[in-house]
Amino acid sequence: MAGATQPMAGKVVIVTGASAGIGKATAAGLAALGAHVVMPCRDVPKCEAAMARIGGAVPGASLEMMRLDLASLADVRRFADGFLAAHRRLDVLINNAAVVKRRREVTVDGLEETFAVNVLAPFLLTNLLLPMLKASAPSRIINLSSGLHKRAHMDMGDLQVERGWSSYRAYDRSKLADILLTVALARRLGGTGVTANSAHPGLIDSDLGREMSWAQRTVKRWISKPAEVGALTSIHLASSPEVEKVSGRYFAGSREAEPSEEARDGELAERLWHACEELTGLKTA
Residues near ligand NAP, by CB under 6 A: 17, 19-23, 42-43, 46, 68-71, 96-99, 117, 144, 146, 200-201, 203-204, 206-208
Shortest distance (Å) from residue 209 CB to ligand NAP = 8
Residue number, 32 or 136, with CB nearest to ligand NAP: 32
Shortest distance (Å) from residue 210 CB to ligand NAP = 6
d(CA 170, CA 30) in angstroms, rounded, equals 30
d(CA 75, CA 125) in angstroms, rounded, equals 10
Residue 250 is a catalytic residue: no
Shortest distance (Å) from residue 266 CB to ligand NAP = 23
Shortest distance (Å) from residue 264 CB to ligand NAP = 19
Picking from 43, 1, 4, 3, the residue whose alpha carbon sits closest to that of residue 24 is 43
Residue number, 121 or 136, with CB nearest to ligand NAP: 121
d(CA 190, CA 202) in angstroms, rounded, equals 29
Choosing from 79, 115, 123, 171, the catalytic residue is 171
Shortest distance (Å) from residue 135 CB to ligand NAP = 26
Residue number, 46 or 217, with CB nearest to ligand NAP: 46
Residue 163 burial by CB count (10 A; 0-12/13-18/19+): exposed, middle or buried? exposed
d(CA 131, CA 96) in angstroms, rounded, equals 20
Residue number, 225 or 274, with CB nearest to ligand NAP: 225
Q: Are strands 92-95 and 139-144 parallel, antiparallel or unpaired?
A: parallel
d(CA 65, CA 55) in angstroms, rounded, equals 13
d(CA 30, CA 37) in angstroms, rounded, equals 7
- CA-CA-CA-CA torsion sign (187, 124, 204, 13): positive
Residue number, 136 or 230, with CB nearest to ligand NAP: 230
Residues with catalytic roles: 171
